[in-house]
């Protein structure tokens, strides 16, 4: 069985308060995007995970895909499998690639071995692997609260719009990012703001990680400004970074290719070795 785990972006991200358990309550909208990894799972006599593509900075036994298999094995007796993961979604990017891989593994194992778990049960299992893993069970626009694990559908549709992603070589450690942010109650209502035209989001739809992350990596602020200068209606950092995204008008294939070249030319002098993706949502 082969599947294509999707990435996500965050539309707004409010860090509301620090919890007694050390985690933080947040408000954000998770939005799935068509940037994918590839995950193949086949039955085997021994469990294994082989990674290809972009480098993965952890040993296979600690990879969330392996942990997803272990969870299904421990709880539901799923037998050994051979797993091949091709990484295309950048790591340390705020795009949720590892969480999406894990959620896909849970769903694939559930189907392959007729475990019979519904989406709600799979989402609860996924949440034990990572705060945003549950979102990828549903992979549709969701308002996320709590630590990112309390999900409710939200009506936001960017279909047909053009999305540009810029991932510099520098990555951001999520734990470090949270340690530097000051929680605060939002001054605007996220659910109301998200219903406004995209061009009205700037200044209202905010990512609370940006001030501290941009202070540590000032090239991110310049990349964000470059996307706005290139014609984006809205630009922001996704999650705790370091990917900056911009939302543009719908375009045909030739216009998207031209935009990718334009953005690459703008950001390369600012941050070498940037990855630039331009996608149709």
167 catalytic? Reply is: no
What is the rounded distance in angstroms from the CA atom of residue 94 to the CA atom of residue 66?
21
Omega of the bond prior to 242 within 30 degrees of 0, cis?
Answer: yes
- Nearby residues of 231 by Cβ (< 8 Å), 6 or more positions away: 248, 249, 259
The one catalytic residue in 37, 101, 132, 208 is 132
With 0-12 / 13-18 / 19 or more C-beta atoms within 10 angstroms meaning exposed / middle / buried, residue 205 is: buried
- Nearby residues of 250 by Cβ (< 8 Å), 6 or more positions away: 160, 161, 162, 280
Q: Count Cα atoms within 13 angstroms, Cβ side, for 127.
A: 17
Element (DSSP H or E) covering residue 109: helix 97-112
DSSP string, 211-251: HHHHHH-THHHHHHHHHHHTT-SEEEE-TTSS-EEEEE---
The one catalytic residue in 8, 87, 167, 224 is 8
118 catalytic? Reply is: no
- Rounded to 10 deg, the angle between the 64-76 and 97-112 helix axes is 30
What is the rounded distance in angstroms from the CA atom of residue 258 to the CA atom of residue 253?
9
What is the rounded distance in angstroms from the CA atom of residue 157 to the CA atom of residue 268?
31
Which residues participate in catalysis according to the annotation? 8, 132
């Amino acid at each position: 069985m082969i599947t294509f785990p999707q990435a996500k972006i965050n539309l707004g991200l409010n860090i509301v308060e620090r919890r007694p358990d050390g985690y933080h309550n947040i408000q954000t909208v998770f939005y799935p995007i068509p940037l994918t990894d590839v995950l193949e799972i086949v039955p085997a006599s021994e469990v294994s995970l082989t990674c290809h593509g972009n480098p993965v900075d952890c040993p296979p036994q600690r990879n969330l895909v392996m942990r997803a298999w272990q969870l299904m094995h421990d709880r539901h007796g799923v037998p050994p499998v051979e797993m091949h993961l091709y990484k295309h979604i950048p790591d340390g990017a705020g795009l949720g690639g590892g969480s999406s891989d894990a959620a896909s593994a849970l769903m694939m194992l559930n189907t392959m071995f007729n475990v019979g778990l519904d989406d709600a049960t799979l989402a609860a299992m996924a949440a034990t692997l990572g705060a945003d893993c549950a979102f990828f069970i549903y992979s549709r626009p969701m308002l996320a609260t709590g630590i990112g694990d309390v999900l409710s559908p939200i009506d936001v549709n960017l279909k047909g719009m053009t999305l540009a992603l810029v991932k510099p070589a520098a990555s951001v450690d999520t734990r470090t990012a949270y340690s530097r942010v000051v929680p605060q109650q939002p001054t605007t209502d996220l659910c109301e703001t998200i219903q406004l035209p995209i061009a009205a989001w700037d200044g209202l739809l905010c990512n609370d990680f940006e001030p501290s992350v941009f202070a540590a990596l000032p090239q991110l602020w310049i990349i964000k400004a470059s996307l706005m200068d290139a014609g984006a209606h809205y630009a922001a950092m996704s999650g705790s970074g370091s990917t900056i995204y911009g939302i543009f008008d719908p375009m045909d294939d030739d216009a998207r290719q031209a935009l990718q070249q334009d953005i690459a030319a703008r950001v390369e002098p600012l941050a070498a070795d940037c990855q630039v993706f331009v996608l149709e949502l």
